[in-house]
Structure 1
Amino acid sequence: MNKKMNIEAPNDSILQKDIDRIAQELVKFPEINHKTIFVTGASGLLGSLTVKSLLCLNRCYRFKVSVVALVRSLEKAQAAFGDLMHDDKLRIIVGDIGEIPDIVEPIDYIIHGASVTSSRDFVEHPVETIFTAINGTNQVLELARSKNISGMVYISSLEMYGTINSDIPVSEDAGGYIDPLSIRSSYSESKRMAENLCCAFSSEYGLPVKIARLTQTFGPGVSYNDNRVFAQFARSVIKKKNIVLHTKGSTVRNYCYTSDAIRALFYILLKGTTGSAYNVANMGTGISIRDMAELAAKFGSHTNIVFERGDNEKRGYNPPVTICLDTSRLQALGWSAEVGLEEMFQNLIKSMESSLI
């Protein structure tokens, strides 16, 4: 093992530990050695962590995985990868997911994570949200077909389940109501359609594609300026400010730590059944948004919870739901979640603080 600390995350020791942990797990999958993996959304949270973990696998365990990373801008790639941009096993492609530039090299595996992720964009740019999901996924599937890939995983979302209020963990066979006339449904409806498109390519063309339905995922690597609730909570703790809730915080869901999610993607990609979907979550993290705010506030000596009502429709908030994903199908592949909610917040806060240094 050839290992030097803080190569993939030079300014964030917490993130580097996660990358090392993922790389250690990927040793279990020798089938990716000497292969090329195409990653879309590569400058995003999960995409960049996937790329860094594969490069760490090469460096630490003498694998020779080539990575082709699709990003929207060179500046975002440079911010995400820094000196790794010069790694000879990484090729950055700048382009739009709706019109992927020509890729001349063979592609063996695809991890498709490009997506609109901001709740505000779901209501302010619903057309772009829909077309990014559907047209982008169609482009990736056509590429997969032309390259005769060995496997692909599409990163979907728990939001495809729609409105569910149940204390019983939700399996992959469940489905709740989505209002097609709600602008906010641009995200959840397009995720459903993209999943169906994956299944259509699998059925009609024999494409080995699987689906990962992720719950909200966070940990080291989350941008300091991220606007999702967990980042808002962590930022309030760092700034020694109150946590502001714009709703009652009654929505209950379970969450997943970033390194656990990346590990899950590879289990699904390499061990999952073609045409199947797999929930990705930590079943031990079910909590309401209000209770999660209370948990986060414990890490800040000057942080309290305050409520300020506003126009939640414009913010892109979903109706209150109670939904916790059942991960039995994923666990049957050999995966298990390792990091609980308290450690998730501890590591998130430390990582965000390191980005300010």
Structure 2
Amino acid sequence: MSLRIYLFFKFYDKGGYCIDYGVGMSRILVTGGAGFLGSHLCERLLEVGHEVCCTDNFYTGTRRNISHLLSNPYFDLIRHDVQLPLHLEIDEIYNLACPASPIHYQLNPIQTLKTNINGAINMLGLAKCNKAKIVQASSSEVYGDPEVHPQPESYWGKVNPACIRSCYIEGKRCAETLFFSYYHQHGLQIKIARIFNTYGPRMHPNDGRVISNFIVQALKGDDITIYGVGEQTRSFCYVDDLIEGLIGLMGTPAGITGPVNLGSPCEISIGQLAERILALTGSSSKLVYLPLPQDDPQQRQPEISRARALLNWQPKVMLNNGLRKTINYFEHLLSKGGDGNV
């Protein structure tokens, strides 16, 4: 049985509101903890008084993302691939390990499938041994190219299992199935978050995702590449909001498994996003239109009534405010010659 120390903390949330935490210091594992989302999650968990173990194989995560945490005595970093078993004493697990951008997950599709499937099996096994709660970072990709808009959790999706994106899509779908199998067969305390497009500081500058692409291109004065005619829509959630949603989901009672959509319900076209980033950066970059990739979804917008009801959660950061913070991050990164390497 793991030792749990009970402490009382007073913190201020992102909006400056005082919060009292009468919490136990839990030992929490974050897989993929040196990645974009993982590093923000590790940081936030430490802020609210937990002990954090971060694992990453540094395929897409970088040491730069968690360098400011290394001196914290309650933070441990383990270089580890979730495809391999891991033995730790742990209270909670956030399973975030998987490349999330098409450029990275399509580079080695078999590896992507193994990370999703074998990683889920190994982390579920670890949770079972420790009787720990576990959150799976699933994805809006499980909905494929949806015929229902916006997408509720009850929608089963429209997915092509043979397209170039299917290594990620089907990997995430299979991971969800594994999580529910462990729930039904072993009574494991699982939580599934379906994460929609998220952005913010520490995004990889070369990950091919639309916001990082547009901002880096605009800051460099390069052409801004839009696939298709720019009418496809997305909904963008700032990273701080997303992290609060994940932590809120972990804190729900045992019977609440999800899936729960986490993302912004505010929809914007890719063309409008490009124009907005041009305006915020003051860039003179030109818009260039390229062929639309195979099976690129035309619409992505979460229906978040379940998150509102179960977690009392919805995004707070407006798109322009989040974009400014993200632009500032990339300006600083590029000024130091940052190229996204580990």
Give, in angstroms, the shift of residue 233 of structure 1.
Answer: 0.9
Residue 102 of structure 2 corresponds to residue 119 of structure 1: yes
For each residue in 1:246-291, what CA deviation from the matched residue of structure 2 results, as whole angstroms up to 9, or x when unmatched? 32222212121100000000111112643321001111x2011111
**Is the contact between residue 241 and residue 302 of structure 1 (CA under 8 Å) also seen in structure 2?**
no
For each residue in 1:221-258, what CA deviation from the matched residue of structure 2 results, as whole angstroms up to 9, or x when unmatched? 22333321100111122223331213222221212110
Give 1 or 2: higher helix fraction: 1
- Partner in structure 1 of residue 26 of structure 2: 35
The one of 144, 157, 172 equivalent to 1:162 is 144
- Partner in structure 2 of residue 322 of structure 1: 299
Give me the whole-angstrom Cα distance separating, in 2, the residues matched to 1:310 and 1:137: 35
- Partner in structure 2 of residue 275 of structure 1: 257
- Partner in structure 1 of residue 340 of structure 2: none
**Is the contact between residue 113 and residue 168 of structure 2 (CA under 8 Å) also seen in structure 1?**
yes
Give, in angstroms, the shift of residue 301 of structure 1.
Answer: 2.8
TM-aligned CA distance change 1:108 to 1:350, over 3 Å = same
The one of 209, 218, 225 equivalent to 1:244 is 225
**Is the contact between residue 161 and residue 177 of structure 1 (CA under 8 Å) also seen in structure 2?**
yes
AA in 2 matched with 1:54: L
TM-aligned CA distance change 1:93 to 1:243, over 3 Å = same
**TM-score (norm: length of structure 2):** 0.87
Give me the whole-angstrom Cα distance separating, in 1, the residues matched to 2:172 and 2:305: 22
**Is the contact between residue 202 and residue 208 of structure 1 (CA under 8 Å) also seen in structure 2?**
yes
TM-aligned CA distance change 1:177 to 1:165, over 3 Å = closer
**TM-score (norm: length of structure 1):** 0.83
Give me the whole-angstrom Cα distance separating, in 1, the residues matched to 2:14 and 2:183: 28
Give me the whole-angstrom Cα distance separating, in 2, the residues matched to 1:76 and 1:243: 25
The one of 77, 86, 90 equivalent to 2:71 is 86
User: 5 Å matches for 1:292-307?
Assistant: 292-307=273-288
For each residue in 1:294-318, what CA deviation from the matched residue of structure 2 results, as whole angstroms up to 9, or x when unmatched? 11111133334422435835xxxx4
TM-aligned CA distance change 1:229 to 1:34, over 3 Å = same
Give me the whole-angstrom Cα distance separating, in 1, the residues matched to 2:51 and 2:197: 29
User: 5 Å matches for 1:142-221?
Assistant: 142-149=125-132, 151-166=133-148, 168-221=149-202
Give, in angstroms, the shift of residue 77 of structure 1.
Answer: 5.9
Q: Runs (4+) of structure 1 moved beyond 6 Å? A: 23-26
Give me the whole-angstrom Cα distance separating, in 1, the residues matched to 2:261 and 2:209: 21
Gaps of 5+ in 1: 4-18, 58-62
**Is the contact between residue 87 and residue 126 of structure 2 (CA under 8 Å) also seen in structure 1?**
no
TM-aligned CA distance change 1:235 to 1:184, over 3 Å = same
Give, in angstroms, the shift of residue 20 of structure 1.
Answer: 6.8
For each residue in 1:71-127, what CA deviation from the matched residue of structure 2 results, as whole angstroms up to 9, or x when unmatched? 115996642222421321111111111113432xx3111111001223124433211
Give me the whole-angstrom Cα distance separating, in 2, the residues matched to 1:165 and 1:74: 34
For each residue in 1:118-137, what CA deviation from the matched residue of structure 2 results, as whole angstroms up to 9, or x when unmatched? 31244332111111101101
Gaps of 5+ in 2: 1-7, 337-342
Secondary structure class of the residue paired with 1:213: strand
Secondary structure class of the residue paired with 1:295: helix
Give 1 or 2: higher strand fraction: 2
- Partner in structure 1 of residue 47 of structure 2: 56
Identical residues among aligned pairs (%): 27
User: 5 Å matches for 1:15-34?
Assistant: 21=13, 27=19, 30-31=22-23, 33-34=24-25
- Partner in structure 2 of residue 10 of structure 1: none
Give me the whole-angstrom Cα distance separating, in 1, the residues matched to 2:257 and 2:155: 16
Give, in angstroms, the shift of residue 66 of structure 1.
Answer: 1.0
- Partner in structure 2 of residue 134 of structure 1: 117
Give me the whole-angstrom Cα distance separating, in 2, the residues matched to 1:85 and 1:278: 32
AA in 2 matched with 1:86: S
Secondary structure class of the residue paired with 1:303: coil
Give me the whole-angstrom Cα distance separating, in 2, the residues matched to 1:75 and 1:237: 23
User: 5 Å matches for 1:91-106?
Assistant: 91-103=76-88, 106=89
- Partner in structure 2 of residue 110 of structure 1: 93
Give me the whole-angstrom Cα distance separating, in 2, the residues matched to 1:74 and 1:307: 30
For each residue in 1:39-82, what CA deviation from the matched residue of structure 2 results, as whole angstroms up to 9, or x when unmatched? 0000001111111122233xxxxx3x211111115996642222
TM-aligned CA distance change 1:20 to 1:244, over 3 Å = farther
**Is the contact between residue 147 and residue 158 of structure 2 (CA under 8 Å) also seen in structure 1?**
no
**Is the contact between residue 252 and residue 288 of structure 1 (CA under 8 Å) also seen in structure 2?**
yes
TM-aligned CA distance change 1:76 to 1:163, over 3 Å = closer
- Partner in structure 1 of residue 37 of structure 2: 46
**Is the contact between residue 72 and residue 96 of structure 1 (CA under 8 Å) also seen in structure 2?**
yes
